[in-house]
Structure 1
Amino acid sequence: MAERVAGPEIERLIQLLARLPGLGPRSARRAALHLIRKREELLGPLADALQAAREKILTCTVCGNVDTCDPCTVCGDDRRDRDTLVVVETVADLWALERAAALRARYHVLGGALSPLDGVGPKDLNLASLVDRVEADRVKEVILAVNATVDGQTTAHYITDLLAHLNVKTTRLAHGVPVGGELDYLDEGTLAAAIRSRTDF
């Protein structure tokens, strides 16, 4: 058993950092040491930012995004296309699409994907509110921006069936060769999807 080399406060900091995605115990120790070395520049401001986030961050009751206001900044933006609703699995997906700045639509965060093996069913996702929004807002197009996984595609099919009784166009993101991608480095599933989703040149 390894001996403790730091006090309980530092050990707790390392343990909490190790819970973050992408950080294992070794990376957490490096991050903790960096924060401690730069405690005036980083540790204090980080602690303040975390406290403010804990007190002020809310989940938008309209779309499921996280922000410091409810409705969130995206839902409160009158310049967005009200005819189009982009359905995403997580807030991270919403933020990724916003970074791409490819469209100025509104969003609906499901809170995950259907996954019978993990016990995630329709009642565990924001599906009822999705149908209500599409109907109440008279949405003309629902873009299913879900992940290209088995669970994501299962969710997309379920939503399509769920919206079938409404007069709404349902589309999904194209799958295939990424911009700058080389064919030799792509997996067979991606290549097959690219062939099926081919467009006129």
Structure 2
Amino acid sequence: MGLDWLSILVAIGAVLWVANDIPPFLLVASRTFFAMSFDRMLPESFAYVSEKWHAPVWAIIVTAVAAIPACIAESNFAGLGGYLGFAGVVGTDIYDAFFLTLFCISAMLLPLRRKEIYERAAVKHSTGTIVALGALSTIGAGWCLWVFLDQSFGWIFPGSGLKGSFGDPTMDWASCIGFFGLIIVGIVIYLYYRYKNQARGVDMRTLFLTIPPE
């Protein structure tokens, strides 16, 4: 139909989209890891900033290594994608949507429950506006979470017969164990460093008493 040029245009657009989209993801992931280390919620050595490159070197390296399972999952390298479903786009989107939902709920409740923190914000809107936007955002984020879960119940709950199974019980169980294993590891790390910091006399609540100006 003479539309070959359109497929080329779409391919070029896809390449440009990846070039535009992926770097911010890498920056956010590594800087979040750095910030958590800086706040003593992860090993402090990962907050090291290179004097030469002025970048959190170890945080970037850890982020890059952690991204390898995701690359394998999405490319299905050596047929291993099904074993790493929790690390693929849909699996990680479940984590993202879950925390986004919690964030939206906290934003909605902040001016109601913690007015002293909200009043110190550099930019403030009316309480009604924040609550309304927070409620709408919570609904949207919750819907996204449901969509991602609906596509994954088959491997999150192996043997259930629900949609989203990889069609191989071993793959389903491997992804299930990885999914819940990461959650458990995260909880253990949080509790450990919370206890460790409290033992050193560090009040972790002070981390959340102000809203960053940006």
Q: Same fold (TM over 0.5)?
A: no
Q: Which has the higher contact order (CA 8 A, sep 6+)?
A: 2
TM-score (norm 2): 0.27
TM-score (norm 1): 0.28
